[in-house]
Amino acid sequence: MLNGTVENIAKNTLLYSFVLSQPFALYTGAYPIFENKTLLDAEELEYGDHGEAVRILQYKLNEMSYYDDKVDGELGVLTEHAIKKFQRDHNITMTGLADKETIYALIEVEIETHIKRLESLSGSVYPGLQSEDVRIVQESLQYFGYYEGEIDGMYGPLTKKAVEIAEEKHDIDFLDEAPQQSLSTMYESEKQQAAASVKTASKQTSIKNVSIKNASNAAIVQTAYAYIGTPYVWGGESPGGFDCSGFLQYIYHTHGVTIPRTVSDIWNFGTSVSAPSVGDLVFFETYKPGPSHAGIYVGDGKFIHAGLDGVEVSSLSESYWKTRYLGAKRIGR
């Protein structure tokens, strides 16, 4: 999917030549792709190092849920542990050293995430639209340095210009104008497609063999199945991409149920149950103490959740989840 090496992509931005001649403070946070240059130039970061490159490393690891501590620019034990977890998940020797291979992999994952975002939302945004999807697209366009405007969710001239650049560089086709069908027609069509997906998914699972006492539980599970394959996006809370709690909040919201945004708050919000029933939430302790990941129980010892590989169904009996399981909660409806 990526065109050329990560280094070439990192340097192939509209303002790169400008950045080379400016103090880092002038562009930090504004165009994240430029921060990659600092990491690439560092080449290797190890325990005890400190500075801007370490801060950027910590921030990126935090965005990917590997690091959950203060972004202070000091490469200590927790940062080293986060590096090892990232290396483990990406088949890199677990040294805790942010060497060139690790830095390239980190940037590559980040770049690929943004490209997938643009691809997945290319058919839902168009000139004149104001929406959350437009805001997400703007963020990814800004990441590559294509978009220089405010992240406001409004598809105006600056967004259109940035989209055209992305289309050329990444071979992505965006809509040129609003679809002819009305929004209500689009919504009904999406509902029908989701229902069809759910019907197929239900036939392929043991959910149909589970006794479901509350019809709303079944509806929640069915809606969740319709989004299998949706990519994981840190902070994502729409069909363009979900993180784990964003996925839960979105699914429940479609059924008129409001739940908190974070996993820990959802844990405190729900009512504990000794064993999960279909539609209950199951919680896990992953990258930090306490509940940090959750999914919807679908029966037969399985749950659906937004993992790093996207929305998928996993088994509670898998060693990774079994050793991290905290318990189940029921959301009052």
Kindly give, in sequence order, each residue whose CB lies less than 8 Å from that of residue 5, ignoring residues fewer than 6 positions away. Answer: none
| Region 155-168 average pLDDT | 91
Supply the pLDDT for residue 54: 94
Query: Which pLDDT band holds residue 150 (cuts at 50, 70, 90)?
Result: confident
What is the rounded (10 degree) CA torsion for 320, 253, 290, 69?
Answer: 100
| Cα separation, 117 vs 234, whole angstroms | 11
DSSP label at residue 207 = G
Query: Which pLDDT band holds residue 83 (cuts at 50, 70, 90)?
Result: very high
61: which 2 tokens? 């690891």
The CA-atom distances, in angstroms, between 64 and each of 20, 109, 185, 232, 308 are: 27, 9, 36, 10, 9
pLDDT digits (tens, 9 = 90+) for 3-12: 344 444 444 4
pLDDT mean across residues, the chain: 79
Domain boundaries, the chain: 183-330
Supply the pLDDT for residue 77: 94
Phi, psi of 273 (to 5 degrees): -130, 150
| Cα separation, 193 vs 152, whole angstroms | 30
Tell me the fold of 183-330: endopeptidase fold (from Nostoc punctiforme) (3.90.1720)
pLDDT digits (tens, 9 = 90+) for 184-200: 444 444 444 444 444 44
Helix (H) or strand (E) holding 281: strand 281-284
Supply the pLDDT for residue 14: 37
Supply the pLDDT for residue 182: 40
Active centre residues (catalytic): 244, 293, 305
Quick one: which of 333, 66, 44 has its CA closest to 214?
333
What is the rounded (10 degree) CA torsion for 311, 324, 220, 120?
Answer: -10
Quick one: which of 67, 86, 85 has its CA closest to 75?
67
The CA-atom distances, in angstroms, between 94 and each of 41, 52, 55, 243 are: 22, 23, 21, 25
The CA-atom distances, in angstroms, between 195 and each of 201, 219, 222, 272 are: 10, 10, 8, 30
Strands 325-330 and 310-315: unpaired
How many CB atoms are closer than 10 A to CB 39?
23
pLDDT digits (tens, 9 = 90+) for 263-291: 999 999 999 999 999 999 999 988 678 89
Beta partners for residue 297, in sequence order = 303
Indicate whether 26 pLDDT > 60.
no
Q: What proportion of the chain, given as a percentage, has pLDDT over 70?
A: 78
Supply the pLDDT for residue 19: 39
Residue type, 118: L
Query: Which pLDDT band holds residue 206 (cuts at 50, 70, 90)?
Result: very low
Supply the pLDDT for residue 91: 87
pLDDT digits (tens, 9 = 90+) for 99-119: 988 988 888 888 888 888 898
Contact 56, 25 (CB under 8 A): no
pLDDT digits (tens, 9 = 90+) for 214-253: 437 888 999 999 999 999 887 788 999 998 999 999 999 9
Supply the pLDDT for residue 210: 31
| Cα separation, 111 vs 281, whole angstroms | 32
